[in-house]
Amino acid sequence: MEHEPAVEVAGLVKRYGTRPAKTAVDGLDLTVLRGTVTAVLGPNGAGKTTTVEVCEGFRRPDAGTVRVLGLDPLRDAAALRPRIGVMLQSGGVYPGARAQEMLRHTARLHADPLDVDMLVERLGLDACGRTAYRRLSGGQQQRLALAMAVVGRPELVFLDEPTAGLDPQARRATWDLVRELRADGVSVVLTTHFMDEAEQLADHVAIIDGGRVIAEGSPARLCRGGAENSLRFGGRPGLDLETLLKALPPDSVAVEPSPGSYRVQGDVGPQLLATVASWCAQHGVMPDSITVERRTLEDVFLELTGKELRG
Ligand code: ATP
């Protein structure tokens, strides 16, 4: 049904091995609305790929429910396969197959495929023509995998780290393609370690750690919550910050971390900016720069998941 979410995961648990079993996904809930791009972020080993693989029907959950386009990814695999596109982190392709032949072959398996020549051009695959998959560069393999995932005009696409290892041009081409998919009403789930990619592309971000969603929302909402933003300005060293603090709302902070460089923290908005500007005017200070620093998704990610390296 059209109004059903593209993906609905509730209480998903997935363990690997026995004695002792490793719990990769530990009670995860995730809803992906139709026609949106959802980015799944998380440190290495957080359970992103496992979650996506369960949704793709490649793994059987140990507990919880998963519905993809309203169907069960395992039981209804045959009905789902032509409706979803999957780009895996690696593999999934016969290594001896020639790049473009494989793409054309995949296109022929679908009722209403995209124009292969257009995809080849868009993703810069023309040079790969008759080259065997295993002889393509890592970036070319990635782009071919992306083309194969979308050529069937799927309703829903899963992209696992689609731009890992890509050069900046290919990265931009991939972003443009994802934006177009979204504009065509395709639902997209992508995992990524690039926070700027999530900020650029995603309507909704889910941050996963320890096999659970620990925060979610639009990138803007995630960046707004929590710690405050700051305003920086440069001026002559040794300004009297006591008088600035008196002019600012209570709980604001004004410091000079290095001579002539000032930082104001608090509820950074038009009012605070006006207060700082008028204080500068009163004290004959002409700032050589004023910048508002907002938290980035990377700041939020590191605040939530910590800075220790993961296995
Ligand atoms: P990354 O960012 O490194 O790709 P991820 O968030 O995608 O990580 P998963 O690949 O889902 O994480 O792995 C989650 C946990 O499950 C990890 O501890 C991993 O070692 C473990 N794991 C994943 N696949 C298997 C497997 N086939 N057998 C055993 N353990 C596995």
Give the pLDDT of residue 199: 93
Give the pLDDT of residue 203: 97
Q: Left (φ > 0), alpha (ψ -120 to 50) or beta: where does 210 sit?
A: left
Give the pLDDT of residue 296: 86
Q: Which atom of ligand 1 is nearest to the CA of 193?
A: 2
88 touches ligand 1 (CB under 6 Å): no
The predicted model gives 142-147 an average pLDDT of: 90
Give the pLDDT of residue 19: 80
Residues 203 and 38 sit within 8 Å (Cβ to Cβ): yes
Write the residue with the smallest CA distance to atom 29 of ligand 1: 16
**Could you tell me the pLDDT band of residue 131, with boundaries at 50, 70 and 90?**
confident
pTM above 0.75, yes or no: yes
Higher-pLDDT residue of 76, 269: 76
Pick from 234, 104, 136, 118: nearest CA to 180: 118
Query: How many angstroms is it from 12 CA to the middle of ligand 1?
Result: 15
* For ligand 1, mutation pick of 44, 191, 209 (most atoms within 8 Å of CB): 44
Query: How many angstroms is it from 251 CA to the middle of ligand 1?
Result: 43
Range with the lowest mean pLDDT among 33-37, 125-129, 144-148? Answer: 125-129
42 touches ligand 1 (CB under 6 Å): yes
**Could you tell me the pLDDT band of residue 99, with boundaries at 50, 70 and 90?**
confident
Q: Work out whether strand 84-87 and strand 63-68 pair parallel, antiparallel, or are unpaired.
A: unpaired
Range with the lowest mean pLDDT among 98-102, 124-128, 224-228? Answer: 224-228
HSE-CB for 304 with a 13 A CA cutoff: 25
**Could you tell me the pLDDT band of residue 191, with boundaries at 50, 70 and 90?**
very high
Rounded to a whole number, what is the largest CA-CA distance in the chain?
A: 74
Give the pLDDT of residue 156: 97
Structure token digits, residue 283 = 């004290």
Pick from 141, 148, 196, 204: nearest CA to 172: 196
Range with the lowest mean pLDDT among 108-117, 158-167, 225-234, 236-245? Answer: 225-234
Write the residue with the smallest CA distance to atom 20 of ligand 1: 45
Give the pLDDT of residue 228: 61
Query: How many angstroms is it from 311 CA to the middle of ligand 1?
Result: 10
The overall average pLDDT reported for the chain is 91
Give the pLDDT of residue 256: 96
**Is the pLDDT confidence value at 226 over 70?**
no
Peptide bond into 20 cis (omega under 30): yes
**Could you tell me the pLDDT band of residue 274, with boundaries at 50, 70 and 90?**
very high
Range with the lowest mean pLDDT among 63-77, 90-104, 157-171, 208-222? Answer: 90-104
27 touches ligand 1 (CB under 6 Å): no
DSSP-assigned letter for residue 311: -
The sign one gets for the Cα dihedral 69, 180, 132, 135 is negative
The predicted model gives 46-63 an average pLDDT of: 96
The predicted model gives 177-183 an average pLDDT of: 95
**Could you tell me the pLDDT band of residue 220, with boundaries at 50, 70 and 90?**
confident
37 touches ligand 1 (CB under 6 Å): no
Amino acid at 181: L
Percent of the chain at pLDDT exceeding 70: 96
**Is the pLDDT confidence value at 107 over 80?**
yes
Q: Work out whether strand 37-41 and strand 204-209 pair parallel, antiparallel, or are unpaired.
A: parallel
**Could you tell me the pLDDT band of residue 63, with boundaries at 50, 70 and 90?**
very high
Q: Which of 54-58's residues contact partners 24+ apart within 8 Å by CB, and which partners?
A: 54/9, 54/12, 54/14, 54/25, 55/7, 55/9, 55/158, 55/189, 56/84, 56/86, 56/158
16 touches ligand 1 (CB under 6 Å): yes
The predicted model gives 101-130 an average pLDDT of: 88
Query: How many angstroms is it from 213 CA to the middle of ligand 1?
Result: 15
**Could you tell me the pLDDT band of residue 294, with boundaries at 50, 70 and 90?**
confident
124 touches ligand 1 (CB under 6 Å): no
Give the pLDDT of residue 56: 95
23 touches ligand 1 (CB under 6 Å): no
**Is the pLDDT confidence value at 18 over 90?**
no
Give the pLDDT of residue 193: 95
Give the pLDDT of residue 90: 65
